[in-house]
Amino acid sequence: MANSEVQQNKMILKVVSPYEVFYEGEVDRVVIPASDGQFGILPGHSPYVVALMPGITRFDIGEEKKSFVISEGYAEVARHTVLIVCNAAEWPESIDTERAEQALERATKRYNSVTSTEEQRFYAKHAILRAKARIQIAAERNNCKSDRK
């Protein structure tokens, strides 16, 4: 869909990884995990490029709210388009909480190891952030499920 076809109060969100186009669609609002905190984007935003940290990306389509976890990457923001390029993206329902908790434990050990180099600590920090985001979004999903019962 060309930008001229997008409604004035909407924008196109496209999320890509090396493996797939994870998501592409019209949205009302996007919140991304930028390197300096959460960054909210509405239609008509000024052009911007921002580094992304592992974390939760949230977006609205009308009254529906959706979220997913991304790894590090960057976002390119235009007036009616947000392009997220990341190493990986996951929907909450595809997250194995036990596996995420194990990943958090491994990454924390690597980060705290006295034999780790600065580069190893850098990658461990990203792994910790991603594991925590995966655990958080899975917990949010489980809480929403239990609220519906």
Q: State mean pLDDT over 44-68.
A: 94
Instruction: Check whether residue 81 and residue 133 sit in a common domain.
Output: no
- Write the single-letter amino acid at 136: Q
Instruction: Check whether residue 24 and residue 67 sit in a common domain.
Output: yes
CATH number, position 136: 1.20.5
Of 90, 118, 138, the position where a domain reaches its end is: 90
Instruction: Check whether residue 23 and residue 73 sit in a common domain.
Output: yes
Counted domains in the chain: 2
What range defines the domain where residue 116 resides?
92-148
pTM of the entire predicted model: 0.84
pLDDT given for residue 143 in this prediction = 73
pLDDT given for residue 141 in this prediction = 80
pLDDT band at residue 5, thresholds of 50, 70 and 90? low
Express each pLDDT in 68-113 by its tens digit.
999 999 999 999 999 999 999 999 999 999 999 999 999 999 999 9
Instruction: Check whether residue 18 and residue 84 sit in a common domain.
Output: yes
Buried b (16+ CB within 10 A) or exposed e, 15-51: bbbeeeebbeebbbbbbbbbeeeebebebebeeeebe
